[in-house]
């Protein structure tokens, strides 16, 4: 059943000619962009009001964490996820990708390995190389209803490549998997046994679609591996704030926190003051908007699954979190699904960038009428033989 939707999600601003990475990619072609993971919706008014108030102050000097930033995140972690975070554990960073790159240098030496599950968000695959670290890929298993961790393959990779880090994307991008407490405890046992530090990217934690698939922060576990873990969070996916560049690392280990800023070598800028204002407002006051968004995203998930099931050769497992559909095109016989989609006027993300050719990732965070156009074009890309 179609949810009652707030007007904020029924339409959206025209993002063309605004420097939008998403919309400029095919600016000279009739291609509907549904690729990079930002939303086409305006951020909530409570966040815009906070930005306006900060702008009205009129001074934008060098800015570290303002007084409300860390308590706002700590309160959000407790309220949303039952995780008691000491505000002193929180360190601001311009983005989760930046934070991942820092952990490669902070917790591993040159030529050390970094484990990650594939398919995965592309920076997990590309960042280790420039840092002089090796990327060790462990494929997830695709079941009939869900993706899951192959713990035997992970144990073998950990024992043979001797990695120092595991980069965990949780909830997982692009499959939308929410790893269970049982999964996470098994992961904690394995990484502890091999002396591996877990870095958990939990940027999607506030967009879990199903009530029975609640997010468990890895670092909230009662386990030694959790005590050593680094958690990366940001309000950017949930409240559409990516362009403001504000995220946080939650690091219990005091020695790691002390080394965090210096390891950037002067290459990592300070978070800008508008990013701080937006993040604090989103964590403090953005939950009503988030809940309305979730209703829309659940509706959109249903639309995508229904339409994909009607297109010969396509399949898609229900995703538990995010607004991203991970669509298997391999049974279509199409040699290049990305090219086929673009030829039909649709611009998804190419599965090759995530380490799994033959798939596409489709962003559903747009008005429903626009998503329906995208699904029509998807059907045109893969007509029945």
Quote the pLDDT of residue 165: 98
Q: Name residues whose C-beta falls within 8 Å of residue 201's C-beta, 6 or more positions apart in sequence.
A: 96, 100, 121, 124, 167, 168, 169, 170, 232
Question: Residue holding tokens 């990366």?
Answer: 232
- Say if 7-44+287-381 and 48-284 have the same CATH topology: no
Helix or strand holding residue 147 (H, E): strand 147-148
Q: Which of 214, 207, 218 is closest to 167 using CA atoms?
A: 218
Domain 48-284, architecture per CATH: 3-Layer(aba) Sandwich (3.40)
Q: Name residues whose C-beta falls within 8 Å of residue 315's C-beta, 6 or more positions apart in sequence.
A: 308, 309, 327, 328, 331
User: 127-183, pLDDT tens digit by residue?
Assistant: 999 999 999 999 999 999 999 999 999 999 999 999 999 999 999 999 999 999 999
Quote the percentage of the chain above a pLDDT of 90. Answer: 94
- The better pLDDT of the pair 213, 372 is held by 372
Mean pLDDT of 4-22: 85
The domain made up of 7-44+287-381 has a fold known as: 3.90.1150
Does residue 385 register a pLDDT over 70? no
Quote the pLDDT of residue 5: 53
Quote the pLDDT of residue 225: 98
Instruction: Write down the pTM of the prediction.
Output: 0.97
Q: Name residues whose C-beta falls within 8 Å of residue 173's C-beta, 6 or more positions apart in sequence.
A: 37, 120, 121, 204, 322, 324
Structural domain boundaries in the chain: 7-44+287-381, 48-284
Mean pLDDT of 327-332: 98
User: 270-305, pLDDT tens digit by residue?
Assistant: 999 999 999 999 999 999 999 999 999 999 999 999
- The better pLDDT of the pair 213, 194 is held by 194
Quote the percentage of the chain above a pLDDT of 70. Answer: 98
SS3 282: helix
């Amino acid at each position: 059943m179609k949810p009652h939707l707030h007007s904020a999600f029924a339409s959206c601003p025209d993002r063309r000619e605004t420097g939008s990475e998403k919309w400029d990619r095919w600016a000279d072609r009739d291609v509907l962009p549904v690729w990079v993971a930002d939303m086409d919706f305006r951020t909530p008014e409570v966040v815009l009001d906070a930005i306006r108030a900060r702008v009205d102050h009129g001074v934008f000097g060098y800015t570290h964490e303002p007084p409300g930033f860390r308590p706002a995140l700590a309160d959000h972690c407790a309220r949303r996820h039952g995780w008691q975070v000491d505000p002193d554990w929180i360190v601001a960073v311009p983005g989760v990708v930046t934070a991942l790159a820092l952990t490669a240098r902070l917790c591993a030496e040159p030529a050390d390995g970094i484990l990650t599950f594939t398919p995965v968000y592309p920076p997990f695959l590309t960042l280790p190389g420039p840092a002089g670290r090796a990327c060790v890929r462990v494929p997830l298993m695709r079941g009939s209803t869900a993706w899951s961790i192959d713990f035997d393959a992970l144990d073998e990779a950990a024992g043979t490549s001797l990695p120092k880090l595991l980069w965990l994307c949780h909830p997982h991008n692009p499959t939308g998997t929410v790893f269970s407490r049982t999964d996470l405890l098994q992961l904690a046992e394995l990484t502890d046994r091999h002396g591996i530090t877990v870095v958990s990217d939990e940027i999607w934690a506030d967009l879990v679609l199903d009530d029975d698939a609640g997010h468990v922060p890895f670092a909230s576990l009662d386990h030694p591996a959790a005590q050593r873990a680094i958690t990366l969070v940001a309000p950017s996916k949930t409240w559409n704030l990516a362009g403001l560049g504000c995220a946080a690392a939650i690091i219990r280990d005091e020695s790691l926190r002390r080394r965090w800023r210096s390891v950037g070598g002067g290459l990592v800028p300070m978070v800008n003051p508008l990013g701080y204002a937006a993040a604090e407002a989103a964590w403090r006051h953005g939950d009503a908007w988030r809940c309305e968004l979730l209703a829309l995203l659940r509706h959109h998930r249903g639309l995508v699954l229904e339409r994909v099931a009607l297109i010969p050769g396509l399949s898609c497992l229900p995703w538990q979190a995010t607004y991203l559909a991970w669509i298997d095109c391999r049974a279509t016989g199409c040699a290049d699904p990305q090219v086929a989609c673009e030829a039909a006027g649709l611009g998804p993300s190419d599965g090759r960038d995530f380490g799994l050719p033959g798939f596409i990732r489709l962003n559903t965070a747009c008005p429903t009428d626009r998503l329906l156009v995208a699904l029509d074009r998807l059907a045109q890309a893969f007509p029945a033989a």
